[in-house]
Amino acid sequence: MTEDQRVARAILRRGWWLTAIGLAALAVAYVMALAFTPLEANQGAAQKIFYIHVPAAWSALMAFSIVGIVGLLYLWLKDPRLDLFAASSAEVGLAFGAVMLTTGPIWGKPIWGTWWTWDARLTLTLLLFLLFLGYMTMRAAIRDPAERARFSAVLGIMGLLLVPFIHLSVYLFRTLHPQPIVLKPSRPSLPPEMLRTLLLSLAAATILYLGFVTVRYGLARIAAADHDGEA
């Protein structure tokens, strides 16, 4: 076994441990949300999906932002490991994005009376998701590794530039989507019981992102090391 293969397998083991910790923390957060967190006065039980939707959105936007940041680093350093990590983060971001775009309409239907509305935040979020679907499609279509990495970096940077507009959209446009209740200029407006559950859910989702992206990156490094060993 080569040194690259040993390093890749160590990364993979680390990822499995992080994933297990993240899943355990997520399970605790959901038990807290269902059994110990009070119902919201106006939305009732439908509000409980908040503890899934918001952490998924946080992790998706974080993953897509990291793709852009790592893409910038790749254009500077030309290190193929950065390209592998960016692609891994994009895949994980799409997984969290699918959860975000699924749970949002499920929450919105009983509250807004519609599954979907083309307001600014929802439209921009869907556009970002589709951009990264295109990112993965492009990676599958381009065979030259250097060209694939370069084009992927540029597309990832475009996604990074879109993320701040998604956050600011509720301030810049009239929208059905509520304004942030944690990331706001004044203190968070959630009751302490809800805030604790939300923060635990966010922490669990962040750890889960780290676990997923480390596993995916480890698998990519193993594949690259095996390919180099055969060459």
What is the DSSP secondary-structure string of 75-119?
HHH--HHHHHHHHHHHHHHHHHHHHHHHHHHHHHHHHHSSS----
Question: Which range is least confidently modeled, 37-46, 120-129, 190-199?
Answer: 37-46
Tokens of 184: 């706001």
Kindly report the pTM of this predicted structure.
Answer: 0.92
Of residues 43, 50, 63, 16, the one with CA closest to residue 199: 50
Q: Total domain count for the chain?
A: 1
Find the domain containing 54 and state its range. 3-230
Question: Which range is least confidently modeled, 49-53, 164-168, 209-213?
Answer: 164-168
Cβ–Cβ under 8 Å, residues 204 and 51: no
Q: Is 78 left (phi over 0), alpha (psi -120 to 50) or beta?
A: left
Per-residue pLDDT, 185: 47
Question: Which range is least confidently modeled, 21-30, 112-121, 139-148, 195-204?
Answer: 112-121
- 7-16 confidence digits (pLDDT tens): 999 999 999 9
Average pLDDT, the chain: 89
Residues 6+ apart with CB under 8 A from 127: 162
Cβ–Cβ under 8 Å, residues 71 and 157: yes
- 11-65 confidence digits (pLDDT tens): 999 999 999 999 999 999 999 999 988 887 777 777 889 899 999 999 999 999 9
3-state SS assignment for residue 189: coil
